Chain A
Amino acid sequence: MKDGKNTYKSRRPMERLLQRIPFLKDEKYSPFLAAGLLLTSIMLIFILIGLFWTPYDPTAMNRNEKLAGISIRHLMGTDNKGRDILSRVMYGSRITLMIATGTMIVGAGIGTVLGALTGYFGGMADEIFMRIVDALLAFPSVLMALVIVSLFKTGSWEVMMALGIAFIPSFARIVRSEVLRCRSMDYVENARIQGVSDLRIIFMHILPNIRGVLLSSILIGFNNAVLAEAGLSYLGIGSQPPHDSLGSMLSSAQQYMLSNPVSVLGPGLAIIWMVLGFSFLGEGLRREGD
C-alpha cells in the first residue's frame, strides 16, 4: 500500500461498495460488518436529514389526504390524520434512537461501573449484589420496565430510565466476570506494584482491555433496547404524542390497517432496518474478533 493504491479488491459486492468510500478504501471487511456499516450509516443519514428537513411537517394534518396509499407525493402514504408517514418515520426514528441511546447510557453506564467495582473488590458486597443480579436476570426485562413505568408515568424519559434500569443487571454481570478474569493478570499486578490507585486500575487499565466484550454487548443491548422500546410504545406506555416513536406510530397505524394497509410498513421497516444494521455490525465484529 506504498503508493496508496487499493491493493485488496474484494469479490463481494457489499465490500466493493464500501471500498469506494475514500477513507475505508484499504480495509478488508467481513460481509457482515460491511452490510452493518452500510445499513447503519444510511439510517443515521436518514435521521440526520430529518433533523433539518422532512418532506412535510411531521405534525401537520391534512384533512384532504387522510389514509392515502403510496404515491409520489407521499412515499409511505399518510396516516389517519393526513400526516405524511415518511416525515413521521424520520422524526420517529430519531426518538427511537434517542431512547435506545439513553437506555444504553443508563444501563451500560451504571451496569459497567457496578460490575467493575464489585468484581474488582469482591467480598460480601459482591456476594449480595450478585444474588440480587441473579434474581433480576431471572425476571424478564420488559416486565421489569413495565413495573417501573407503571410506578411512574408514561413518557420517553420514563421508558428510557425504566429500560436502562432493566438492562443494568446483564451489563453488571458481563463486566464483573470480565474484571474478575483480568484482576489477577500481570498488567494489573504490575500497575498495583507501581502504586496506581484501585479506581485508576479499574477504569484506566482494565476497562480499556475488555472493550471488545463491552462493545459487542452494547450493540446487542442496543438492539434489545430498540425492540423493547418499540414494544412498550406500541402498548401505549412509551413515548407519548406528539413525540411519537416508531412503536407508537405502529399502534395507531394498526387501527386503520383495514383502510390503509401500507401505513404499517413505513415504521415497521424502519425498526427492522435499524435493528438489522446493528445486529450485522455486532455479528461482523464478533467474526472479526474470532
Chain B
Amino acid sequence: MMRWPSPRTVRRLIGVLILVLWEAIPRLGILPELFIPPLTKTLHVLWLDRAIYAAALLVTVYEVAVAMLIACGAGILIGSVVGGVASVRRLMLPVFSSLYAVPIVILYPVFTAWFGIGSESKIVFAGVYGFFPVMLSTAAGIRTIDEQYLLAARSMGASLPQLIVRVIIPASIPTVLAGLRLGGALTIIGVVVSEMLTSANGIGYLVTKNRTTLDSPRVFAAIIVILTLSVVYDIAVRFIERRTLVWQTAGRRATGPQAARVALPAQAPA
C-alpha cells in the first residue's frame, strides 16, 4: 500500500497548486481577469510600481511600529498588573473580557473625526485594536508563573527589587513574547483595515484606490505585499520564540485547572 505523503509535503503541494491555479485560471479564461489577474501579471505590476509600493509600505510599517509600542507596551504592562494583582484582577478582568466583545472597528470613524485621515488615526485605532487581546493574554500568562519560584527566592533572602528583576521578569518572558507575537499581528491587521477604510496613504489605501479604478493587478499586488508583511513578522517572532524555547514549558505550572481548560486563542476578529 502506498504511504501517504507527510502533512508538510502536502501543505507545500497545496501551496504550489495555489500558485499554479493563480496563474492558470485567469489565463485559461475560467475566471475573468477582473476577478483574479494572473500571478505573473500581478508580480510584474508590483515590480513596475515598486517605488510606489515601497513608499506605501514604509508608511504602513511606521504606523504598525508605533501602534505596536502602544498595544504591546500598554497591553503587557496593564496585563501584568491585572493578572498579577489579585484584587485588580477580580475587579477589572471581567470588565475587559466584556469589552472584548465589541467590534473595535466601529470606533474608527470616531478616530478619523478626532485625528484626521493621516497616520495618527490609524496608529490610535491599531493601538486600541491590539491592546485588549494582548492585555488579556498577558493577564492569563502571568498567572501561570509558578509561585514556588517566588517562595524559593524569598527563602534565599531576595529583596523585592531582586524578586522582580531576577525571578518575575525572566519567568515572564514566554508570556511577553507571546504577547508581542499577538500584538504585532493584530496591529498589522488594525493598520491595514483602517488604511483600507479611510486613508490617503499606506498599503491599505493602495488596495482601496486600485479597487475603485478596477485595476485588479495592482489590488492583488498590494494584497501580496500585505501577506508578505504578515508572514515575515510571524516567522521572525516564532524564530525568536524558538530560541528561548527552554523556558516555554519549564516555567509554567503544567497541570491544574488552567491547563485543563482548552484555551481558545485570544485573537482579534479581522
B is bound to A: no
